[in-house]
Chain A
Amino acid sequence: MNRLSRAKRSPASGLWKDGLKNAKMQRNLFLLLALTPAFGGYLLFTLYPNMLSVYYSLLNWNGISEPEFVGLSNFVTLFQDKYVWRALLNNLFYMATVPIAVISISLLLGYLLANKGYKGTSFFKVLFFFPNVLSTIVIALLWTFIYDGSFGLLNDFLRLLGVPIGNFYWLGEARTALAAIVPPYVWGGVGLYVIIFMNAMTTIPKSLYESAILEGARHMTILFRITIPLIMPIVRISALFLILGTLKGFEKQLILTNGGPAGATDVVGLYIFNLAFGTENHNYGYASAVGMLLFVILVTAKLLMDKYMPDRSVEY
Chain B
Amino acid sequence: MKAVKMKSIVVALLALVLAMSMAACSGSGNGKTNKETNGASGAPNTSSPTATAQDDVYPENGLPKDEAVTLKFGFFEGGMGREYIDYAMDTFKKKFPNVSFEVVYSPKIGDIINAKISANDDDDMFDLFNGTIPGGVTPLVLAGKLEPQDDLWDHVLYDGNGKTLKQLVMPGAVEASVNVVQGKLYALPVAASGSGLFFNKLLFEQKGWNQSPNTWSEFVELLAKIKADGVIPITYPGQYPNYIEHAFGPVKMFELAEINGNLEEFTKNFRNFNLPQHLSPESIEVWKRIYELGQKGYFPEGVAALSHTQSQMQMIQGQAAMVATGVYVENEMKSALPPEFVWGYMSVPMGDDPNGTRWIRSTASNGHYIWAGKPDLNKQWAKEFNVWMWNLDVQEVIAEKGGQLPVRQDFSDDETRAGKLQNAPKAMFEYMNANNTKMEGAVRDRTLTDPSVSQANKVIQEGTIGITSGNKEPLPILEEAEKLIEKAIQAQK
Task: Give A303 Cβ to nearest chain B Cβ, in Å.
Answer: 33
| A64 with B305: CB separation less than 8 A | no
Is there a chain B Cβ closer than 8 Å to A229's Cβ? no
Q: Chain B contacts of A263 at CB under 8 A?
A: 462
Is there a chain B Cβ closer than 8 Å to A50's Cβ? no
Which residues of A from 257 to 291 have beta carbons under 8 Å from B?
257-258, 260-263, 277-284
| A172 with B135: CB separation less than 8 A | no
Q: How far is B313's CA from A149's CA once the two chains are assembled, in angstroms?
A: 12
Knowing A260-B465, A262-B304, the reply to whether A280 touches B454 (Cβ < 8 A) is yes
Knowing A260-B304, A262-B466, the reply to whether A280 touches B238 (Cβ < 8 A) is no
| A172 with B143: CB separation less than 8 A | no
* 9 A-B pairs with the lowest CB-CB distances in the bound complex, closest first: A169-B302, A172-B302, A261-B304, A172-B305, A280-B454, A282-B135, A281-B454, A171-B305, A169-B305
Nearest-neighbor residue (CB-CB) of A150 within chain B? B319
Is there a chain B Cβ closer than 8 Å to A238's Cβ? no
| B451 with A283: CB separation less than 8 A | yes
Q: How far is B134's CA from A284's CA once the two chains are assembled, in angstroms?
A: 13
Nearest-neighbor residue (CB-CB) of A263 within chain B? B462
| A168 with B239: CB separation less than 8 A | no
Kindly supply a per-residue 1/0 record for chain B positions 291-302, scoring 1 wherever the CB is within 8 Å of any chain A CB and 0 otherwise. Answer: 000000000111
Task: Give B30 Cβ to nearest chain A Cβ, in Å.
Answer: 40
Kindly supply a per-residue 1/0 record for chain B positions 389-430, scoring 1 wherever the CB is within 8 Å of any chain A CB and 0 otherwise. Answer: 000000000000000000000000000000000000000000
Q: How far is B472's CA from A263's CA once the two chains are assembled, in angstroms?
A: 15
Q: Chain B contacts of A147 at CB under 8 A?
A: 305
Knowing A65-B142, A281-B135, the reply to whether A168 touches B466 (Cβ < 8 A) is no
| A169 with B303: CB separation less than 8 A | yes
Kindly supply a per-residue 1/0 record for chain B positions 112-145, scoring 1 wherever the CB is within 8 Å of any chain A CB and 0 otherwise. Answer: 0010011000000000000010111001101101
| B306 with A279: CB separation less than 8 A | no
Q: Chain A contacts of B145 at CB under 8 A?
A: 64
Q: Chain B contacts of A62 at CB under 8 A?
A: 135, 139
| B306 with A172: CB separation less than 8 A | yes
Nearest-neighbor residue (CB-CB) of B108 within chain A? A277
Q: How far is B310's CA from A262's CA once the two chains are assembled, in angstroms?
A: 18
| A280 with B304: CB separation less than 8 A | no
Q: How far is B313's CA from A136's CA once the two chains are assembled, in angstroms?
A: 25
| B319 with A167: CB separation less than 8 A | yes
Task: Give A255 Cβ to nearest chain B Cβ, in Å.
Answer: 11
Nearest-neighbor residue (CB-CB) of A149 within chain B? B302
Q: How far is B238's CA from A260's CA once the two chains are assembled, in angstroms?
A: 9
Q: How far is B140's CA from A170's CA once the two chains are assembled, in angstroms?
A: 39
Nearest-neighbor residue (CB-CB) of A171 within chain B? B305
Is there a chain A Cβ closer than 8 Å to B355's Cβ? no
Is there a chain B Cβ closer than 8 Å to A41's Cβ? no
Q: How far is B111's CA from A171's CA once the two chains are assembled, in angstroms?
A: 25
Of B135, B139, B465, the residue contacting A261 (CB under 8 A) is B465
Q: Chain B contacts of A261 at CB under 8 A?
A: 238, 304-305, 465
Is there a chain A Cβ closer than 8 Å to B329's Cβ? no
| A64 with B302: CB separation less than 8 A | no
Of B132, B140, B302, the residue contacting A167 (CB under 8 A) is B302
Q: Chain B contacts of A149 at CB under 8 A?
A: 300-302, 305
Q: Chain A contacts of B162 at CB under 8 A?
A: none
| B465 with A281: CB separation less than 8 A | no
Task: Give A166 Cβ to nearest chain B Cβ, in Å.
Answer: 8
Task: Give B480 Cβ to nearest chain A Cβ, in Å.
Answer: 11
| A257 with B134: CB separation less than 8 A | no
Q: Chain B contacts of A279 at CB under 8 A?
A: 110, 132, 134-136
Q: Chain B contacts of A262 at CB under 8 A?
A: 304, 462-463, 465-466
| A64 with B143: CB separation less than 8 A | yes
25 contacts between A and B (CB under 8 A): A64-B139, A64-B142, A65-B139, A150-B313, A150-B317, A166-B301, A167-B300, A169-B303, A169-B306, A170-B305, A172-B238, A172-B301, A172-B302, A172-B303, A174-B304, A257-B305, A260-B238, A261-B305, A277-B111, A279-B134, A280-B454, A280-B458, A281-B139, A282-B114, A282-B139
Q: Chain A contacts of B140 at CB under 8 A?
A: 64
Q: Chain B contacts of A64 at CB under 8 A?
A: 117, 135, 139-140, 142-143, 145
Is there a chain A Cβ closer than 8 Å to B50's Cβ? no
Q: How far is B239's CA from A169's CA once the two chains are assembled, in angstroms?
A: 12
Which residues of A from 132 to 182 have beta carbons under 8 Å from B?
147-150, 166-174, 177
| B136 with A280: CB separation less than 8 A | yes
Task: Give B456 Cβ to nearest chain A Cβ, in Å.
Answer: 10
Is there a chain A Cβ closer than 8 Å to B256's Cβ? no
Is there a chain B Cβ closer than 8 Å to A310's Cβ? no
Nearest-neighbor residue (CB-CB) of B310 within chain A? A148
Q: Chain A contacts of B303 at CB under 8 A?
A: 169, 172
Is there a chain A Cβ closer than 8 Å to B314's Cβ? yes
Is there a chain B Cβ closer than 8 Å to A63's Cβ? yes
Is there a chain A Cβ closer than 8 Å to B453's Cβ? yes
Of A172, A177, A280, the residue contacting B457 (CB under 8 A) is A280
Kindly supply a per-residue 1/0 record for chain A positions 33-63, scoring 1 wherever the CB is within 8 Å of any chain B CB and 0 otherwise. Answer: 0000000000000000000000000000011
Q: Chain B contacts of A281 at CB under 8 A?
A: 135-136, 139, 451, 453-454
Q: Chain A contacts of B302 at CB under 8 A?
A: 149, 167-173
Q: How far is B238's CA from A267's CA once the two chains are assembled, in angstroms?
A: 19
Kindly supply a per-residue 1/0 record for chain A positions 77-95, scoring 1 wherever the CB is within 8 Å of any chain B CB and 0 otherwise. Answer: 0000001000000000000
Which residues of B from 434 to 474 have beta carbons under 8 Å from A?
451, 453-454, 457-458, 462-463, 465-466
Q: Chain A contacts of B306 at CB under 8 A?
A: 169, 172
Q: Chain B contacts of A282 at CB under 8 A?
A: 114, 134-135, 139
Kindly supply a per-residue 1/0 record for chain B positions 203-245, scoring 1 wherever the CB is within 8 Å of any chain A CB and 0 otherwise. Answer: 0000000000000000000000000000000000011000000
